[in-house]
Amino acid sequence: MVDDEANGPASTGEFGHVPVLLGRADELLGPALTAVAPDAAGAVMIDATLGLGGHSEHFLRTYPGLHLIGLDRDPNALEIAGRRLAPFGDRVTLVHTRYDGIVPALEQAGLPPVESVHAILFDLGVSSMQLDEAERGFAYSVDAPLDMRMDPTKGLTAADVLNTYSHGDLARVLSTYGEERFAGRIASEILRRRQIEPFTTSAQLVEVLYASIPAATRRTGGHPAKRTFQALRVEVNGELDSLRAAIPAALDALAIGGRVVFMSYQSLEDRIVKQELTPRTKSRSPEGLPMELPGMGAEFALLTRGAERASEQEIEENPRSAPVRLRSAERISRRVTA
Q: Is 324 exposed, middle or buried (0-12, 13-18, 19+ CB in 10 A)?
A: buried
Within 8 A by CB and 6+ apart from 197, the residues are 204
Sequence ranges of the binding site: 53-55, 72, 99, 123, 130
Within 8 A by CB and 6+ apart from 160, the residues are none
Within 8 A by CB and 6+ apart from 111, the residues are 44, 117
Closest CA to 229 of 156, 126, 154: 126
Asked if residues 324 and 263 have their Cβ atoms less than 8 Å apart, the reply is yes
Sequence ranges of the binding site for S-adenosyl-L-methionine: 53-55, 72, 99, 123, 130
Asked if residues 1 and 150 have their Cβ atoms less than 8 Å apart, the reply is no
Closest CA to 134 of 83, 84, 202: 202
Backbone dihedral region of 51: left (phi > 0), alpha (psi from -120 to 50 degrees) or beta?
left
Give, in degrees to the nearest 5, the angle at Cα 170 between 154 and 97. Answer: 25
Give, in degrees to the nearest 5, the angle at Cα 149 between 163 and 81. Answer: 170
